Structure 1
Amino acid sequence: MNRVDRRRDHMSSLEELWQKESRFLEQLFDDHTPFACKDLMEFHDYVYYHCSSFIHNPSVGSQEPGKHLYEALTHYLNALLKEISTGMENILSDEELIVRYVEHWQLYRKACEDLDRGCRYLNQNWVKQEQLEGHKHIHHVYRLAMIRWKELVFSPIDRALVTAISLTLRQKPRESTRSLVYQALRSIVELYANDERQEVPVPTKLNNVFTEEVVGFYKSETLAEFQRIISSNIFSDFKHFLKYACLAMPEIQEGLQFKAVLKRHLALLLDKAIAKSLGGKDYIQAILGTRQSPLERAMRDHKPLVAVIDEVCTDAINRMDQKRNPIGLLITYSNELMTKKSREEITEELKRIVDVMEFLNDKDKFIQQYWRVLRTRQIKESSSWDGNESTMISLLSKRLGQNVTAELTDQLKDFENSKRVNDKFQNHLKINGIKLGFDFRLKYFCNRGRDENFKLILPSELENAVQEFAKFHTEKRCVIVFNHQISCGEIIWNAGQSTHILEVSTLQMSILLLFNEQESFTADELAERLGTNIETIKPVLAFWIHIKFLISSGSSVEVNSDFTNRKRRLNFNKTADAAKTRKIEEKDDEKLRHERKFNMDAAIMRIMKKHKILEKSQLFSLVIEELKKFFTPSIGFIKERVDALTKKEDLELCGPTTYKYVS
């Protein structure tokens, strides 16, 4: 078979493929039946084979099969549209012209959307290559279909249709007719947006063709349609609507009116969802259900509108009048996940927590509180799997940066170091045959000065262990300080016929061991024996007296030998009363304020050193942008720190609202 025969045979094969594809086009454009999933896949396969079946045959150019399909589609659409146009050219009634135009348009547009999806391979390969080679007359299938409609259907009747629209609106038509007019205008906007000549923007084209009254009608109806779709919670056609509405009306993205409608609707839905939430998991779902909703997916190509969703979520989570603390909810839920008994993969839930955390203004406060809960899990050995702990810190580091989460990373390293040191210490005891008489394990090795400590003379039983560990650790050339505020352990208490395991702090254990020496003590005697002040031991004694573990007789206290409890294990270490909790919170808040001042001053000086001279508004904007990964500062706080740096002569006010860097 010679070259000519081979080529003729290949073209015949392409014609056979086109006949199969034509049946699908008849389904779309003649029967007006949308593609089912199976139809779409089958049609896509035909298109793929049509474009690529002869790509390695020297008798056929690589682009020729795609060209054959593109031309065949063009001829098919031309024939279809000429028939539609012929039926519309002689219509004299304005209303009938609009009705028939919209009727044909809606069926045609829907069919073209399905056709474009089925021709995805043609669009992304053949069309793309043709455009790269500079063939500007080649377009994606949907745009091709719009161009053919404009030339063959719209252009022959454009003056008649424009006149019909203008006259119909002047007659104050009924609602159904107004709706048809609006659909006709939407069609024209879409045709303008897909026109081959794009030198003139769509809004200008509308203003050039239609009267101010018609353009005003289109804009008011677009706002009403926007509101209707938002309220309906059905967003299947919203993406298409927005694409062309925004091209004709930039104010949808740039103005305030549409955003206000969207914000009010979302804020109401989110408030209701948050009100129904029972805990951290529900709260996260309420936020992310709004942020990752079908509405957000429909608006994803329009960042200014998506930003409204972020704004609503940010406002909701940072509102001052909330009954529940969002940071507390997130921390509590993360702790629940980390302490589950089963060692399951919880990465997806941790990602959701981090997603919501990003809406917080006080991200540094979240990190601070997460650090405390993480350390508590490490001390109590309640974390189900260290892998989950590392995953969470990794997720936070990716979002906020390693400098923000450095303290969490150090905490994990310190705990791993604690395990190694404790293993070596246990090995040291075993090698040297040392018996401490009780289990001495180091759970947390580095304090980094985050917690207050108090003086405490340990009973001999505990002091021997401390001294032995100090001798062991001298080789490491590092000073060891035991923190009595957070150290804890277990002690066995025998009372008559019952035995209880008491979970106690180091201070509680020290008090109890003294009762092995004598039956009763006054509070002053206990404080003196332990080398601490009486205010330190008062809360412990008050709690034990309240639960009748201690008996108070006059100024003395003694252990109640008749104390009973059905539980064999009793947790006395949870007696961190409200006063102690408030003290910790106050210290955390004070430290946070100090860190924020430091970060604020550093940010201001970095920015001023770079720019030398800045207007106040510019400086404030740059500071907020730089610090948003830590926290969102108020304008008042920025002004306070700028004034402080000006007084220190690090900055100079060289105008009413201009600051200069002083080198």
Structure 2
Amino acid sequence: MNDEINYVESSAARRNRHRESLEHLWQKELVFLKQLFDKNIPLAPMDLIKFHDYVYLHCSSFVHNPSVRSQDPGKDLYGGLTLYLNSRLQEISKGMENIADDKDLVVEYVGHWKKYWKACEELDRGCRYLNQNWVKRERFEGHDYIHEIYRMAMIRWKEVVFSPIDRALVTAITLILRHKATEQSKLLVYQVLQSIVELYANDERQEVSVPSKLNNVFTEEVVGFYKSETLAEFQRIILSNTYTHFKHFLKYWCLAMPEINDGVQFRGFVKRHLALQLKNAIAKSLGGKEYVEAILKFRRSPLARAMRDHKNLVAVIDEVCSDTLNKMDQKVEPIRLLVIYSNELMTNKSVGDILEELKQIVEVVEFINEKDKFIQKYWRALRARQIKEISVWDGNESTMISLLTKKFGVDLTYTLKNQLDDLEKSRTKVGQFQNYMDSMGVRLCFDFRLKYFKNRGLDANFNLILPEELRIAVEQFKMFHTEYEKSKRKVVFHHGLSSGEIICNLGQSTKILEVSTLQMSILLLFNEKESFTEEELKDRLGTPMDILQPALEFWKSTSFLICSGTSVAVNTNFTSKKRRLNFNKVANGTKTRRIDEKEDSVLQLKRKKQTDAAIVRIMKKHKELEHPQLISNVVEELRYLFIPNVAFIKERIADLINKEYVMRCGRSTYRYIQ
């Protein structure tokens, strides 16, 4: 019997200690509550952290005590906060019950509301742990009368302060607006309406939407005033650089006015403002890195973060990025800029520094309509790096291709993957060729660095009769390829892409020249005799004059070759402070234009085939489609490759009709022909 009494006393003692500890924490929390609600002083960051810690301790106190339910400490805090707010609000309500003047009532209401709202915002931040743990668990268990602290505070204001004076307040608002209100009066009325919208949005009963509640309570004139003022306020905040409370206001504005999120007027204003912001940011960028950073900084701006919970408004940001990157009249082509930036990273950056920047490039590429064009130009730059052996690390190249593939799919990036595979096969082939040369007892008089790639059909080659020194290596490789490899595939040495180094002895100096194969062939001819006419060089090399001429003009401009009448000769008195000179940079506008034209024609042909295939797949699936549906389906299917315009799709449909894959039924319907 005595043992049982002792146990009961011990349990009671534990409960008492538990209550005392909670009371001790409440007194500490009360200091911060008084600062917020009595003194109206926001909590400093460190004070907010302290308050949050007290809330955490309060909610988790003695959770392992078998005599205390784990949710009870949180219930104690929630109850204490509710009683505290009720006490404060009852004092406010008593002060407003007997105000007869409409304007005085509005002024008094707004004054108390602004202080209370700011204090509740701070309180809600400090009670984050209570909201995310205790409140969430209570609601999960079916206790729907429990709410997050901010909503609970709004409900308490509505019941204690607003409900006793709601009719008087509604009448005051209507009369003030009806009698030519001053700007100050309009501002006060708008602030009252804002508070009412928040109260309706946080009401316990949500069967009726906020716009319906407004229309049921207020006249059309008052609702129209609220909407026009909201538009003006919305524009003011967008144009400002301060978005501190924009996320909060936007939440309740959109509940009262769905047109903010869905309407053309609001989105159009946001789009115009953002387009100007992005244009100014891009104008300040000096290169690819700054260009990418400007776009991503714009996408993650404070304004963008404030609109994050509203999909249609956030979509405007992406629309602006897409419109800006795909404009036709830009000074710098984004695709070219991104490829150059990628090339700089691949040739200069170490392994650890590059990943985030590559991710950023891919993020920007997502906004480009002609993604296939970017891939084509990136492939050309990738192959150039492989030929020149200037990539810092093959792993970086593989990482970029993986990022692009993950984002846009294998169909778009397979050429890049194939190019990496070609490089691995090339290295194997070079090793086999060297073994072949050793077995044949052949020794070349120069370092022959072979790159063995498949021809992707974009490179225009030109005729060139190689000097004897180079011809031996070419012939040996062709023999190796046909005899040792047993391959019937034709091997073509690409003179425009090939390059090398040559040592020139000029009088008293020796220079190492980095040159193209054509340049090297020109110089090697001067081992045979001192001078040639341009026609003689053309005949000896078998190269068209429009290809040879730019190379000769470059040599002349550097004074490495000198003219004497109709002949050219090596300038033995050529001087330069550098021992190694890079001359492999002859500008050939004609050649560049030809490459661009061929790339465009190849890309256009590829797009025709891709569009035809997409149309056939879609029609085979649906059997019959209206014209608008077919157009939208084709655009959707091809958007990760490129964005085709309607005229192009119509052209491909017409071609498929002629080829009897599709038939027209009526004016705007198509049927698949099986």
The secondary structure found in structure 2 opposite 1:346 is: helix
* Ranges in structure 1 where 5+ consecutive residues have no aligned partner: none
Residues 378-432 of structure 1 show CA distances to partners (whole Å, capped at 9, x for unaligned) of: 2222223333323322222222122211212222222233334334544665677
- What residue number does 2:570 align with? 559
Q: Confirm whether residue 20 of structure 1 aligns to residue 28 of structure 2.
A: yes
Residues 205-238 of structure 1 show CA distances to partners (whole Å, capped at 9, x for unaligned) of: 0000000110010001000100111111100110
CA distance in 1, matches of 2:501, 2:381: 21
Mean CA deviation greater in 99-108 or 531-540: 531-540
Opposite residue 563 of structure 1, the aligned amino acid is F
- Residue pair 1:202, 1:248 contacting (<8 A) in 2 also: yes
Mean CA deviation greater in 605-614 or 152-161: 605-614
- Residue pair 2:458, 2:595 contacting (<8 A) in 1 also: no
Say which of 296, 303, 306 aligns to 1:295: 303
Residues 424-479 of structure 1 show CA distances to partners (whole Å, capped at 9, x for unaligned) of: 54466567764311111124533333322234333222222233334555544444
Q: Confirm whether residue 53 of structure 1 aligns to residue 64 of structure 2.
A: no
- Structure 1 residue 128, shift from structure 2 partner: 1.2
Q: Confirm whether residue 549 of structure 1 aligns to residue 557 of structure 2.
A: no
- Structure 1 residue 190, shift from structure 2 partner: 0.4
Say which of 186, 204, 210 aligns to 1:178: 186
Q: Confirm whether residue 155 of structure 1 aligns to residue 147 of structure 2.
A: no
Mean CA deviation greater in 375-384 or 581-590: 375-384
CA distance in 2, matches of 1:658, 1:56: 71
- Structure 1 residue 250, shift from structure 2 partner: 0.4
- Residue pair 1:51, 1:126 contacting (<8 A) in 2 also: yes
- What residue number does 2:3 align with? none
CA distance in 2, matches of 1:545, 1:7: 99
Residues 533-560 of structure 1 show CA distances to partners (whole Å, capped at 9, x for unaligned) of: 4554343334334444334455544333
- Structure 1 residue 170, shift from structure 2 partner: 0.9
- Residue pair 1:203, 1:248 contacting (<8 A) in 2 also: yes
Q: Confirm whether residue 491 of structure 1 aligns to residue 502 of structure 2.
A: yes
CA distance in 2, matches of 1:159, 1:444: 86
Q: Confirm whether residue 574 of structure 1 aligns to residue 585 of structure 2.
A: yes
CA distance in 1, matches of 2:196, 2:530: 97
Opposite residue 673 of structure 2, the aligned amino acid is V
- Residue pair 1:550, 1:558 contacting (<8 A) in 2 also: yes
RMSD, matched Cα = 2.2
- What residue number does 1:628 align with? 639
What TM-score comes out, normalization by structure 1 length?
A: 0.95
CA distance in 2, matches of 1:521, 1:8: 110
- What residue number does 1:329 align with? 337
CA distance in 1, matches of 2:657, 2:565: 62
Mean CA deviation greater in 455-464 or 424-433: 424-433
- Structure 1 residue 166, shift from structure 2 partner: 0.6
Residues 253-297 of structure 1 show CA distances to partners (whole Å, capped at 9, x for unaligned) of: 111111122122112222222233322233223322322110000
- Residue pair 1:379, 1:444 contacting (<8 A) in 2 also: no
Alignment of 1:117-136 (within 5 A): 117-136=125-144
Alignment of 1:476-487 (within 5 A): 476-478=485-487, 479=489, 480-487=491-498
Opposite residue 257 of structure 1, the aligned amino acid is Q
CA distance in 2, matches of 1:39, 1:428: 78
CA distance in 1, matches of 2:568, 2:230: 80
Mean CA deviation greater in 278-287 or 43-52: 278-287
CA distance in 2, matches of 1:448, 1:553: 43
Say which of 375, 378, 385 aligns to 2:393: 385
Q: Confirm whether residue 512 of structure 1 aligns to residue 523 of structure 2.
A: yes
Residues 114-170 of structure 1 show CA distances to partners (whole Å, capped at 9, x for unaligned) of: 111111111111111121122211111111111111111110100000001111111
CA distance in 2, matches of 1:159, 1:283: 57
Q: Confirm whether residue 233 of structure 1 aligns to residue 241 of structure 2.
A: yes
Opposite residue 224 of structure 1, the aligned amino acid is A
Opposite residue 187 of structure 1, the aligned amino acid is S
Say which of 465, 468, 471 aligns to 2:473: 465
Mean CA deviation greater in 137-146 or 425-434: 425-434
- Residue pair 1:500, 1:570 contacting (<8 A) in 2 also: yes
What TM-score comes out, normalization by structure 2 length?
A: 0.93
- What residue number does 1:539 align with? 550
* Percent sequence identity over aligned pairs: 65
- Residue pair 2:464, 2:543 contacting (<8 A) in 1 also: yes
Residues 16-59 of structure 1 show CA distances to partners (whole Å, capped at 9, x for unaligned) of: 22222222211211121212221222222222222222222221
- Residue pair 1:378, 1:444 contacting (<8 A) in 2 also: no
- Structure 1 residue 323, shift from structure 2 partner: 2.0
Mean CA deviation greater in 96-105 or 504-513: 504-513
The secondary structure found in structure 2 opposite 1:316 is: helix
Opposite residue 168 of structure 2, the aligned amino acid is A
Q: Confirm whether residue 164 of structure 1 aligns to residue 172 of structure 2.
A: yes
CA distance in 1, matches of 2:326, 2:521: 44
- What residue number does 2:620 align with? 609
Q: Confirm whether residue 248 of structure 1 aligns to residue 256 of structure 2.
A: yes
Opposite residue 569 of structure 1, the aligned amino acid is R
